[in-house]
Structure 1
């Protein structure tokens, strides 16, 4: 007896194969010269990026789009920019749902519009520029900052907002991390994100309830992330850890002082 695979089963098999296909690397070439993400001829191969693809925009190109509700991994480098045509809250919302966006030194993210960040990952190198008018966090998001040797030039979004439950429920779903691997600039406070305003009453006590506040590769420093209640900013507060040799010298000095007092 011959077994016949139904048309629906064949379709399911094809769908399964497609869903497990490896991510492709898609590079912007701008051949259409209109600067729009949704124009296929602006991409190598003349094909729009698909879900899960690794997307690269470089060489100073400026790309405009209205939303990323597909899980792309997007890397901006070489003074490139990813902007939105939405210029105000009333004009609509730019949705970056599920995307990973890497903003390199000299590159720009946002152009004054309202950005809905839902289940997104945003990675910022020192020298990145961020200037969306509204930064709204929803559900699970990850925000990562990489310091250079000298520190970090603060990104400057507009209004800080929390959606889908407000504070403190949604801050508990957010993770903030800073990588100090390249840093050698000494102790002090480094501003990472300096918001123009706070629309939801964030304060440091609430910020400390975030799902994760991570300082990676601190080297010879201790450091903690904090929210500045006065300036509406996310900051990294760095303090030096005394080296063992310094501690030994302090101990010897104290011992010598005690002996001098005894001789008197």
Structure 2
């Protein structure tokens, strides 16, 4: 039996009625003159919008439409505003506007402001060719509806919104002025989009998903903004995350997992101030972390505020700007370990255009350590990058900046680090710009190469150099311990040997200025700190009546400990004569051993820990070999003597 024709076409006809092709519209005319949405006469044919009728506004003059306390509905909102003077359509007043389809279309040259509450009746597309501002809150009744932003126009969101279906940026830019402006769902960003942050206080909690190549995140600099943004949601996806805009602080307190890179940079080279990025968890990236901007005058800081291992990315590349960039741990205790996957874990870019650029490795708190497990190198450019340890750095003070209430200006806090920085790359580092230890401790624990690269090392007043590694300067570079600085050996937990290799330098290898202090930990016989000097020649070690302090690590008794050992090679050939007969003074730590003293032998300097003065014959047998060695050395150098 054949079906009736009407019954055959009815489902298709019903589908057609429900499709956009059959959608009808309600067009604003404002005939009543009161500007109220709820006045029927303001709409063409006295027909206001409904869940099946789109609200159409096509105006060339400034216009404010008042909801007048009512909860109104339209299938969608379609606004065309043409005005050479930039006049705006504003929908305001108590009440709310529900978009049944979730769709909004904005074209024309003037703006659109939605100041009333906005309710999503479905997930929809907001196609904005020109500017749209939403100052009211957006909600969806917990139905899981979302917004997809298309078009090149800027969208500004101010409200504390609660819609839960997420926000997808597929075009243009979005400026957010509240930490809840994007509702509670996932924020999705595609390539070429720009996201601006313009709020103080609480964190943006949305999960964030990147889809594409690069998205720009910009810090707002308007008056009253503290210039600090905290992102507490997980960040995932494909693409590069790039922070730009004004100087300020970005805090990432959750995980970051990207097929791409992190690029902590600035908008242009003329920018000044301090740009800070803080990571609380180790990012997982297929590429690197880029810090800075070539030729910029600003400084850039990469901080790690929780103890733990940070790897899962290829390296940290520090770009060649004209200021000092800082990589630091700001954790209270324990260790931050930087362990990128590439052998060259930290690359310092250097060019002839950046003579004032420098790198600073720091640990803020005295009880904490920042350990760098992979090689620090430079890009081989014309101007080597100098390295500082625990130099000060500046960071925008959010509270003071907000209180100053001045557009474009920022107040700063200066941080003074005092902790331990450990250079732990097994094969050492290869940067060539030299190392200055400003404060705290530089600990070296490499087993080959040179922990401080090829350049000179200066340990300044109040700072400390220790460890079990090797430092091997080249050219005319050497190691200098300044007045008020401390040189020690061993690692954090136990005594050990620190080595200096003079095979590559023509300068004195190790110089201790007057007022510089030495520290050695001693325990039971055979347990103690020691300093070895490799490829030693006379004059490589310079003392200036320096004080030696002793720390008892348990079991200290009378006996002899070698404090300095001299080698003709890398630790085995002892056929050298140091030429040193004095230069050290006992300080604190051996008060119970009042007869302790130094013995300056040919190839070592020993400390004899004793409670009483030995017999004269004993002194003679200890000192005689050293005197004989010096005499023979002098005879070889001056055969006519």
TM range (shorter): 0.5 to 0.7
**1:98 matches 2:81:** no
Contact 2:27 2:56 in 1 (8 A): yes
Secondary structure, in 3 states, of the residue corresponding to 1:18?
helix
Deviation at 1:215, TM superposition (A): 4.6
1:192 paired residue number: 175
Structure with the higher fraction of residues in helix conformation: 1
The 2-side partners of 1:4 and 1:102 are apart by: 42
2:314 paired residue number: none
The 2-side partners of 1:153 and 1:5 are apart by: 50
Structure with the higher fraction of residues in strand conformation: 2
Deviation at 1:128, TM superposition (A): 4.0
Deviation at 1:117, TM superposition (A): 3.1
**TM-score (normalised: structure 1):** 0.54
1:71 paired residue number: 75
Alpha-carbon spacing, 1:64–1:12, altered in 2? closer, same or farther (3 Å): farther
- In structure 1, stretches of 5+ residues that fail to align are 87-92, 163-169, 182-190
The 1-side partners of 2:190 and 2:119 are apart by: 26
| Greater radius of gyration (CA) | 2
1:31 paired residue number: 31
Report matched runs for 1:78-89 at 5 Å. Answer: 78-86=87-95
Secondary structure, in 3 states, of the residue corresponding to 2:381?
helix
Alpha-carbon spacing, 1:26–1:67, altered in 2? closer, same or farther (3 Å): closer
Which of 112, 122, 125 is the matching residue for 1:107? 112
2:382 paired residue number: 256
Contact 2:156 2:175 in 1 (8 A): yes
The 2-side partners of 1:180 and 1:13 are apart by: 38
The 1-side partners of 2:16 and 2:172 are apart by: 41
Contact 1:52 1:73 in 2 (8 A): no
Number of residues paired by the alignment? Answer: 217
Report matched runs for 1:220-235 at 5 Å. Answer: 230-231=201-202
Post-superposition Cα deviations, 1:87-123, rounded to whole Å, max 9, x if no partner, equal xxxxxx6533423234675432123xx4433434456
Alpha-carbon spacing, 1:64–1:229, altered in 2? closer, same or farther (3 Å): closer
Post-superposition Cα deviations, 1:177-207, rounded to whole Å, max 9, x if no partner, equal 27458xxxxxxxxx82223x86xxx8xxxx7
1:167 paired residue number: none
Deviation at 1:31, TM superposition (A): 1.7
**1:211 matches 2:186:** yes
The 1-side partners of 2:131 and 2:17 are apart by: 38
2:56 paired residue number: 55
Deviation at 1:229, TM superposition (A): 7.7
Report matched runs for 1:133-172 at 5 Å. Answer: 134-137=137-140, 138=142, 139-142=144-147, 144=149, 155-157=157-159, 159-161=160-162, 170=164
2:400 paired residue number: none
The 1-side partners of 2:2 and 2:149 are apart by: 57
Q: Which has the higher contact order (CA 8 A, sep 6+)?
A: 1
The 2-side partners of 1:242 and 1:140 are apart by: 38
Secondary structure, in 3 states, of the residue corresponding to 1:255?
coil
Secondary structure, in 3 states, of the residue corresponding to 2:88?
coil
Post-superposition Cα deviations, 1:189-244, rounded to whole Å, max 9, x if no partner, equal xx82223x86xxx8xxxx7xx434215425xxxx667797824669943334899x
Secondary structure, in 3 states, of the residue corresponding to 2:30?
coil
1:43 paired residue number: 43
Deviation at 1:71, TM superposition (A): 3.0
The 2-side partners of 1:179 and 1:242 are apart by: 23
What's the Cα RMSD here? 5.1
Contact 2:49 2:75 in 1 (8 A): no
Alpha-carbon spacing, 1:24–1:153, altered in 2? closer, same or farther (3 Å): closer
The 1-side partners of 2:217 and 2:55 are apart by: 30
Alpha-carbon spacing, 1:18–1:80, altered in 2? closer, same or farther (3 Å): same
The 1-side partners of 2:97 and 2:5 are apart by: 44
Contact 2:62 2:88 in 1 (8 A): yes
